[in-house]
Chain A
Amino acid sequence: MVNVYAIDYIIMAVLIIISAIMALEAREIVYAIFFFDLFTIGIGGMFLLFNAGYVAMFQLAVYAGAVAVTVLFAVMLTRRTATGKEIISFASIRNKIASLVLALSIAALMLILVSRYDWATPAGDYPDPLGGGAIFTSIVTNYVVPFLGISLILAASLVGSVALLREERSKKEVASK
């Protein structure tokens, strides 16, 4: 019997790897961001395959939606259209080779370590984690302190980013006076 699930998995994995490479290698930065979006959608599909529907929903809403659009806005704000100056700057060949060797050696080390461990695989389907109810009950009971911490970090980062841009503007106002 053909394992349709495994075929699905392999297609998704190939999509993820190709879009991850293209997100870093595409010449146009806008295409790179679209490939990054494809990558996050692939990761969300993986979550669906692993019976994690709620996390997949968050992944699609936050990553594929919000983060990608935010990066696109940043590109729009920092792009030079008038002069046509290329904003992608690639490293030298020597730097590239050194980085490739470093990344490949780290990958080889980790792959060897992973292959030596006996990973548990469920015999049948992946268990259903009782929908989102179990997740949210757990967040507001066992994990309430980390949850509050994350909320504070998000609020602090938003306020901090506004403050940074505000400071920049006030400095310019002083300079213009």
Chain B
Amino acid sequence: MTAVPTEWTVYLSVVILSIGLYGIFTRRSMIRILLGVELILGAATLNFIVFSMSVLNGDVVGHILTLFVIALAAAETIIGLILLIMLYKDVGSIDISLASDVKAEEQDENKLTRGEKEDG
């Protein structure tokens, strides 16, 4: 017998999920929050694979879903990092609590239009 009990893996992914949730709730650095999201996605893929191999007895549907999740995670990481770079350019920090200050950009635009008027 080489198979481990299925519930071990489910317990493991619950633990990873709660670690990721804790990271998302407590961190203010945007990179840490992204890493927390990736941890949760890793827990989900682990579940897909183990259910595919044990509960579905070798059906490849879990593998296909895992490949889709990996592709989606790559897309999500790209968008997240671009938003991170934009936030850094805007406010000079990657602290997510500063991102709620949406007035900053409006003020910039007002300043810009005023400046154009003064020039004209």
Using a CB–CB distance below 8 Å, which chain A residues touch chain B? 3, 5-6, 9, 13, 16-17, 20-21, 23-24, 29, 32-33, 36, 39-40, 43, 46-47, 50-52, 54-55, 58-59, 62-63, 66-67, 70-71, 73-75, 77-78, 85, 87-91, 95-96, 98-100, 102-104, 106-107, 110-111, 114-115, 117, 119-130, 134-135, 138-139, 143, 146-147, 150, 153-154, 157-158, 160-161, 164-165, 168, 174-175
- Most chain A CB within a 10 A radius of its CB, from B9, B18, B36: B18
- Which of A75, A119, A139 contacts B64 (CB under 8 A)? A139
Provide the bound-state CA to CA distance between A87 and B93, in Å. Answer: 7
Q: Are B28 and A89 in contact (CB under 8 A)?
A: yes
Q: Are A51 and B53 in contact (CB under 8 A)?
A: yes
Q: Are A161 and B3 in contact (CB under 8 A)?
A: no
Shortest CB distance B43–A (Å): 9
Q: Which of B1-60 contact A (CB under 8 A)?
A: 1-12, 14-23, 25-29, 31-32, 34-36, 38-39, 42, 45-46, 49-50, 52-55, 57-60
What are the residues of chain A within 8 A of B84 when measuring CB–CB?
A: 74, 78
Q: Are B2 and A5 in contact (CB under 8 A)?
A: yes
Nearest-neighbor residue (CB-CB) of B75 within chain A: A157
Q: Are A3 and B112 in contact (CB under 8 A)?
A: no
Nearest-neighbor residue (CB-CB) of B18 within chain A: A107
Provide the bound-state CA to CA distance between A90 and B26, in Å. Answer: 7
Take A40-B42, A70-B78 as given contacts and tell me if A122 and B64 are in contact as well, using a CB distance cutoff of 8 Å: no
What are the residues of chain B within 8 A of A91 when measuring CB–CB?
A: 25-28
Shortest CB distance B65–A (Å): 9
Can you pick out 30 interface pairs between chain A and chain B where the beta carbons lie within 8 Å of each other?
A: A5-B4, A9-B8, A13-B8, A20-B16, A20-B20, A24-B22, A24-B36, A32-B31, A33-B35, A46-B9, A52-B53, A63-B70, A66-B74, A67-B73, A67-B74, A74-B31, A91-B27, A103-B18, A106-B17, A107-B14, A114-B11, A119-B7, A120-B6, A121-B54, A135-B67, A139-B64, A150-B72, A154-B74, A158-B78, A164-B83
